[in-house]
Amino acid sequence: AQSVSQHNHHVILSEAASLELGCNYSYGGTVNLFWYVQYPGQHLQLLLKYFSGDPLVKGIKGFEAEFIKSKFSFNLRKPSVQWSDTAEYFCAVNAPLRAGNNRKLIWGLGTSLAVNP
């Protein structure tokens, strides 16, 4: 069965520190990869996605992620975090069901990021 692993459950950083959150998935076929963020009291928002093409994907708010197919990884990065980045971060993968059709998401367990001012 497909699965998504997020290595860090809780991360605490100071402002201006660099961030990298790990995400690995298990599936050998074509995948689409997503990072969602959930700010306190808010709904899930899409940070970025990888569908095809350039494996280095840039998202909103200065976030980026790199798809490394050989490592089945899609790590999220930000060079310099801010206090406002405090949130839950979820990695998700499209589980292929039927080619060309929209598919359910398989989720990692999330990483709780706290940025200290």
Partner 1 sequence: GEEVAQTPKHLVRGEGQKAKLYCAPIKGHSYVFWYQQVLKNEFKFLISFQNENVFDETGMPKERFSAKCLPNSPCSLEIQATKLEDSAVYFCASSQGTLGGQPQHFGDGTRLSIL
Binding site for partner 1 (CB under 8 A): 30, 32, 34, 36, 42-46, 49, 51-52, 88, 90, 92, 94, 96-97, 100-107, 109-110
**Cα–Cα distance, 89 to 79 (Å, whole number):** 16
Nearest residue (CB) to partner 1, 16 versus 56 = 56
| Minimum CB–partner distance for residue 16 and partner 1 (Å) | 27
Residue in 38, 54, 24, 30 with CA at minimum distance from that of residue 88: 38
CB of 116 to partner 1, least distance (A): 21
Which residue is listed with tokens 């201006």?
Answer: 16
Nearer to partner 1, 43 or 69 (CB): 43
Sign of the dihedral through C-alpha 88, 83, 46, 48: negative
